[in-house]
Amino acid sequence: MSPQRGRRLGAFVFLAPGLTYLIVLLLVPLALILSNTVFQRGRFGGVVYEFTSENFERLVDPLYIGVVGNSLKIATVTTLIALLIGYPTAYLIAQLPRRWKTVALVAIVLPFWTNFIIRVYAWIMLLSPVGLINSALGTKLELLYNQGAIITGLLYSYLPLMVLPLFATIEKLDPQLREASANLGASGFTTFRKVTLPLTLPGVMTGCLFVFVPSFGNFVIPEMLGGGKSIMVGNLIRSEFLKARDWPFGSALALALIAVLVVLLIVQAWVSRRA
């Protein structure tokens, strides 16, 4: 066997598990979703293989556009709050001594060591009318089953995904750049606006994408903390597949969601290149 053929065989052996994973669990399901969008729903659910464009026409129904708009609003608010909290948090962690950086980062990712559903249930215990917060305040505030509870749950779940890429970007900054800005008479705010923020913009975009994407498609938190009162795209797709058994329209919704996420990835890549 020639050395070149041996290198190719070795590369294939190492790539085969990853390629198999992508093909079986990503490309094949995506192809099934794409094919289902052009077929009709059966009388008792499932798919009837007769061509139709009705599934795409239903996507522009005001009812479903309203659900998408509600999802965009909740995901955008969650992302902005995560950015406002995550940026100063990541900045402060980056200024810590090396030993304390590790401790702080472990504290940031510590919630991921607990099951996701258990963490959501913990928020139900905190926000319920007889929960810890109302008991401590001696009130009966309606903290649960509203959009505020959904945003709180999403923020708690995905805030580490904002902090970590921001920290990685801020830590790489050359401190001499900020020192040079200060020596030239720039204020702290001007230095941040003209030096720090532009150089950390790729991290900002990555963090926003990491928070926005799962927030936009999440269906567990709106169901449990929102009580099903605030429908998001993830809840709608789940209902179409599991309750209405309208797989073609559910596939069209899922495809539309994927298209939105692809556009966001393209925007993030373009901004990162420009930055």
CA distance 93 to 171: 9
Helix (H, G, I), strand (E, B) or coil at 40: strand
Q: 223 is written with which tokens?
A: 């169901």
pLDDT score at 87: 95
The pLDDT of residue 84 is above 90: yes
Q: How far is CA 107 from the centre of its chain?
A: 20
Q: Which pLDDT belongs to residue 175?
A: 80
Question: How confident is the model over 257-268, as a mean pLDDT?
Answer: 86
Q: What is the DSSP string of 154-187?
A: HHHHHHHHHHHHHHHHHHTS-HHHHHHHHHTT--
CA nearest to 232, candidates 142, 154, 128, 129:
154
Q: What is the pLDDT of residues 88-115, one digit of tens each?
A: 999 999 988 888 998 999 999 888 888 8
Measured distance CA(86)–CA(122) in Å, rounded: 22
**Contact present, 56 and 37 (Cβ < 8 Å):** yes
| Res. 116: pLDDT tops 70 | yes
